[in-house]
């Protein structure tokens, strides 16, 4: 669930802090821009339903019909995630304010992405948890219907997603039954042996039965500390052996699931900093790499790049071809810059290049050489020649603030573009 939320927030944030959305989508109501970038492009590409609306409740564009009024009420000025039940479907929603790139200007509008929690997602959750999942609307649930959910031997967990939506998780546990059966058998056997055995037999039973339990206590303490690599006596041919084997299988499954969770966490961390289209870093990673370089006292140059004539490609060939060109541009940058340099898609056809251990003068030479190779590589796209304009700001000479470095590089880039 957190993975779904994180991906939804990442994708929404790419849009709400995009100045073109505010200027073209909200202010101008540019229908061509909205169709190419918001609706229906978002639903086709990202598989999300989308609503762009003003704080007064006016719908600018929407993939929904007959929007509920409480969807359109004025929101707080930050990203909000919630679940919503609409037409017998449950949606995971993220809504945020449409802001300028520097997050200082609010366009009096909000963008909402909604991902339906459909059968496919529920099946993924069920496969991941190895459990049955039911999403219920609390207002429609009757008491006699709920009674069927609570059956032994199963775990039952209810998680409220919102005031009206409830997730019921049911997981059958054969371990519970096996532990109960084995414990009962051992208890009865031990009692009978005590009644009919001599002191010698009693001591034998203590040695044969109680020591495995003492070892099991030690094993349980090791597991509590997070150490799952413990030694189990699984070669016995009695109920204790069955118990030990069942207990070991349970621990092995827990260990595998924890390893999967750690892998999922690492994957989510990587996804959060990747641009969906080009698979290079997105602008959220700019804060991370800036902090790392500053902490290590490494100087660098930040280059702000804007592709020239790229709009002509989109206008002539459409956004699918434009998206492919952007991917090729990223591949070109990766081949022409050093492996330690960082390529970041800032938004649209704008990029930030972090040149490590590079002064402004060195960066200027590198970018001029790269521009020549770029023009040769993209010299003729069916009659359209691409180039790029760039501006450079160096740390710490120009500034020690990331926002100030971006502003300086952006201004110098626009001066470069005006010369052409």
Most confident of 57-66, 205-214, 228-237: 57-66
- On the question of pLDDT at 156 being above 90, the answer is no
Provide CB contacts within 8 A for 59, sequence distance 6+.
51, 52, 53, 67, 72
Identify which has the larger pLDDT, 52 or 230.
52
Neighbours of 279 (CB within 10 A): 11
405: Cβ contacts below 8 Å, ≥ 6 apart:
302, 393, 395, 398, 399
**To 5 degrees, how large is the angle CA 134–CA 137–CA 140?**
115
| pLDDT, tens digit (0-9, with 9 covering 90-100), for 8-49 | 999 999 999 999 999 999 999 999 999 999 999 999 998 899
pLDDT band at 144 (very low <50, low <70, confident <90, very high): very low
Q: How far apart are CA 414 and CA 390, in angstroms?
A: 8
How confident is the model over 290-319, as pLDDT tens digits?
A: 999 999 999 999 999 999 999 999 988 899
Residue 150 corresponds to which tokens in the numbers above?
């609570």
Q: What is the pLDDT of residue 268?
A: 61
Ramachandran region of residue 76, left (φ > 0), alpha (ψ -120 to 50) or beta?
Answer: beta
Stronger pLDDT, 367 or 210, i.e. the higher one:
367
279: pLDDT strictly greater than 70: yes
Cβ-based neighbours of 60, under 8 Å, separated by 6 or more = 25, 26, 29, 34, 52, 53, 54, 109
Please state the pTM of the whole predicted model. 0.42
Residue 109 has pLDDT above 90, yes or no: yes
Answer for the pair 395, 293: CB distance below 8 angstroms, yes or no: yes
At 187, is the pLDDT very low, low, confident or very high (cuts 50, 70, 90)?
confident
- Omega before residue 47 within 30° of 0, cis: no
Percentage of the chain lying above the pLDDT 70 cut:
75
pLDDT of residue 132: 73
What is the full DSSP assignment across 286-327? HHHHHHHHHHTT--EEEEEEEEETHHHHHHHH-HHHHHHHHH
Helices 239-272, 211-224: crossing angle, 10 deg rounding: 10
Task: Give the dihedral sign, CA 29/32/38/43.
Answer: positive
Would strands 165-172 and 132-137 be described as parallel, antiparallel, or unpaired?
antiparallel
Mean pLDDT of the chain: 82
């Amino acid at each position: 669930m957190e993975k779904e939320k994180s991906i939804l927030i990442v994708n929404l944030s790419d849009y709400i802090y995009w100045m073109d959305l505010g200027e073209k989508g909200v202010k101008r109501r540019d229908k061509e821009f909205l169709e190419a970038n918001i609706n229906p492009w978002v639903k086709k590409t990202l598989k999300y339903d989308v609503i762009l609306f003003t704080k007064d409740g006016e719908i600018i564009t929407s993939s929904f019909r007959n929007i509920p009024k409480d969807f359109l009420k004025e929101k707080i000025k930050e990203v909000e995630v919630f679940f919503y039940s609409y037409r017998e479907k449950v949606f995971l929603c993220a809504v945020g304010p449409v802001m300028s790139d520097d997050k200082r200007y609010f366009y009096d509008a909000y963008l909402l992405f909604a991902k339906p929690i459909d059968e496919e997602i529920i099946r993924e959750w069920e496969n991941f948890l190895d459990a049955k999942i039911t999403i219920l609307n609390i207002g429609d649930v009757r008491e006699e219907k709920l009674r069927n959910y609570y059956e032994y031997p199963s775990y039952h967990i209810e998680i409220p997603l919102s005031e009206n939506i409830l997730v019921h998780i049911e997981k059958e546990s054969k371990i519970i039954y096996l532990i109960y059966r084995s414990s009962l058998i051992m208890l009865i056997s031990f009692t009978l042996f005590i009644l009919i055995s001599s002191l010698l037999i009693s001591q034998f039973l203590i040695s044969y039965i109680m020591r495995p339990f003492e070892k099991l206590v030690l094993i349980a303490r090791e597991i509590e500390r997070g150490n799952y690599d413990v030694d189990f006596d699984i070669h016995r041919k009695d109920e204790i052996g069955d118990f030990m084997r069942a207990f070991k299988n349970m621990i092995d499954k827990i260990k595998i699931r924890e390893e999967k969770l750690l892998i999922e966490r690492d994957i989510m961390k990587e996804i959060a900093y990747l641009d969906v289209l080009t698979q290079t870093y997105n602008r959220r990673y700019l804060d991370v790499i800036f902090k790392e370089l500053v902490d290590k006292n490494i100087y660098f140059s930040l280059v702000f790049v804007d592709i020239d004539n790229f709009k002509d490609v989109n206008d002539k060939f459409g956004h699918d071809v434009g998206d492919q060109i952007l991917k090729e541009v990223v591949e070109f940058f990766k081949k022409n810059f050093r492996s330690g340099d960082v390529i970041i898609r800032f938004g649209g056809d704008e990029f930030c290049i972090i040149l490590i251990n590079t002064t402004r003068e060195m960066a200027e030479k590198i970018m001029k050489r790269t521009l020549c190779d770029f023009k040769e590589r993209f010299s003729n796209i069916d009659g359209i020649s691409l180039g790029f304009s760039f501006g450079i700001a160096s740390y710490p000479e120009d500034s020690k603030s990331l926002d100030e470095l971006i502003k300086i590089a952006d201004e110098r880039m626009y001066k470069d573009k005006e010369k052409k």
